[in-house]
């Protein structure tokens, strides 16, 4: 095992529940590297909802809450308000964050609370058997849409920007260095940070959506479909059709942050 994993992982919880080749493991790898670089393991509080991706914090040897489906951001908000000195992070899946917890996600963004939300998007409900998720591509087949998905998808990053998040980035599991950098920037950023990571699910998405079971092949496909923001600016809308734009999509400084304004108000009332 890598020395960083040796240092930060909870040995009693290993091996991880992830299937061979699951992208969530890469996110865990990048996250531990970011934490190691910042040296903040003792100030960290992690929240996970329900789903494969929400198991990620459970393997890290720090303060962890595993909560109800979709309520990771709601719980992280409470945690941050109870103790603003903590660095609070929420790990969600696509269904957890913008499906079932969609309302909490919108209001977390709107309040601009200083938490970092990492959403691992594998385009499907993986743990429960491959059901249709809000991020499943249009017309792709899943367990619950055997004739193709009739619904169009959610662009979580655009929703986050519109709802008022102040740091929004999107990367894929083929960019591990960039994920670690984005997590570091998200933790350092004062305000709601949202990082979407396109991840491969070789077991369910591979079986139903893409028709391939090889994680390496899926990773190549994800990498091929991604376009960096700097390059996407020079491309025409026809060329960008079906591509995923990756990079730091939005950053804003100076917007009032919730825990700061609440504590300032409390101080003010005390007189």
Partner 1 sequence: MSKIIIDELCCKGCRICINQCSKDVLDISAKRNPKGYLIPHAVRPEDCIGCMMCELICPEMAITVEASKHEKK
Binding site for partner 1 (CB under 8 A): 1-5, 9, 15-16, 18-26, 28-30, 32-33, 173-174, 176-177, 180, 202, 214-217, 219-220
Closest approach, Cβ 2 to partner 1, in A, equals: 4
> Tokens 């991020």 belong to which residue?
135
d(CA 100, CA 127): 15
Show Cβ contacts of residue 93 under 8 Å, excluding neighbours closer than 6 positions.
Answer: 49, 51, 52, 53, 54, 119, 120, 121, 122, 125, 126
Closest approach, Cβ 157 to partner 1, in A, equals: 23
Residue 27 backbone dihedrals phi, psi, to 5 degrees: -65, -40
Nearer to partner 1, 100 or 219 (CB): 219
Closest approach, Cβ 53 to partner 1, in A, equals: 12
Closest approach, Cβ 197 to partner 1, in A, equals: 13
Closest approach, Cβ 109 to partner 1, in A, equals: 29
For residue 138, what are its two tokens? Answer: 């249009």
Nearer to partner 1, 23 or 102 (CB): 23
**Coil, helix or strand at residue 74:** helix
Q: Where are the beta strands (DSSP E) in 15-158?
A: 44-48, 63-66, 87-93, 115-121
């Amino acid at each position: 095992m890598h020395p960083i994993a040796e240092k930060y992982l909870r040995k009693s919880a290993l091996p991880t529940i992830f299937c061979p080749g699951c992208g969530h493991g890469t996110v865990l790898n990048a996250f531990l590297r970011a934490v190691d670089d910042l040296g903040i393991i003792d100030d960290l509080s992690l929240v996970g909802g329900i789903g494969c991706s929400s198991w990620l914090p459970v393997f890290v040897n720090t303060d962890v809450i595993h909560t109800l489906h979709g309520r990771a951001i709601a719980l992280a908000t409470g945690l941050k308000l109870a103790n603003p000195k903590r660095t609070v992070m929420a790990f969600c899946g696509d269904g957890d964050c913008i499906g079932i917890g969609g309302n909490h996600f919108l209001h977390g963004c709107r309040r601009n609370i200083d938490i970092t939300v990492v959403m691992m998007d594998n385009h499907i409900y993986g743990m429960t058997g491959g059901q249709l998720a809000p991020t499943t591509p249009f017309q792709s087949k899943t367990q619950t849409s055997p004739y193709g998905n009739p619904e169009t998808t959610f662009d979580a990053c655009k929703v986050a920007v519109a709802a008022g998040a102040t740091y929004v980035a999107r990367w894929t599991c083929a960019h591990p260095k960039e994920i670690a950098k984005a997590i570091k920037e998200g933790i350092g950023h004062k305000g709601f940070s949202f990082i979407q990571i396109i991840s491969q699910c070789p077991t369910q998405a591979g079986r139903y959506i893409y028709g391939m079971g090889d994680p390496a092949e899926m990773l190549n496909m994800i990498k091929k479909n991604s376009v960096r923001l700097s390059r996407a600016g020079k491309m025409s809308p026809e060329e960008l059709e079906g591509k995923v734009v990756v990079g730091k999509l939005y950053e804003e400084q100076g917007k009032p942050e919730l825990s700061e304004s609440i504590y300032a108000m409390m101080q003010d009332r005390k007189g």
